[in-house]
A = this chain, B = another copy of it.
Amino acid sequence: MKIQNIENDLLLKALKQEKTERYPIWLMRQAGRFLVEYRKVRETAGSFKGLLENPNKAAEVTLQPVSILEVDAAIIFSDILVVPESMNCNYIMEEKKGPYFPETIRNNEDLKKLQLPDLYKSNLRYTLEAIEITKEKLQNKIPLIGFCGAPWTIFAYCTEGSGSKTFSVAKRILYQDPEFAHQFLDLITDASIIYLKGQIEKGVNVIQIFDSWAGILSKEDFEIWSLPYIQKICDSIHEVPKIVFAKGANFSLNKINRINCDAIGLDWNVPIEFSKTQINKTTQGNLDPCLLYADRNYLNKKVNEFLDSLPTNHIVNLGHGLYPDTPRENVIELVKLVKNYIKK
A289→B166 CA distance, assembly (Å):
10
Q: Residue A215 at the B interface, CB < 8 A? A: yes
Q: Which of A232-282 contact B (CB under 8 A)?
A: 248, 250-251, 268-271, 274
Tell whether, in the assembled complex, residue B175 and residue A293 are in contact, meaning their CB atoms are under 8 Å apart. Answer: yes
Tell whether, in the assembled complex, residue A168 and residue B219 are in contact, meaning their CB atoms are under 8 Å apart. Answer: no
- In the complex, what residue of chain B is closest to A267 when comparing beta carbons? B218
- The 8 A CB mask of A169-199 against B (1 = contact, 0 = none) is 0011011100000000000000000000000
Contacts of A271 in B (CB 8 A): 219, 251
- The 8 A CB mask of A23-58 against B (1 = contact, 0 = none) is 000000000000000000000000000000000000
A291→B220 CA distance, assembly (Å):
12
A251→B219 CA distance, assembly (Å):
15
Contacts of A341 in B (CB 8 A): none
Q: Which of B166, B250, B290 contacts A171 (CB 8 A)?
A: B290
Q: Which of A294-310 contact B (CB under 8 A)?
A: 294-295, 298
Extra contacts besides A168-B289, A250-B251 (20): CB < 8 Å: A163-B165, A166-B289, A166-B320, A166-B323, A168-B293, A171-B290, A171-B293, A172-B290, A174-B290, A175-B290, A175-B293, A175-B294, A176-B293, A176-B295, A219-B269, A250-B250, A250-B269, A251-B270, A251-B271, A251-B274
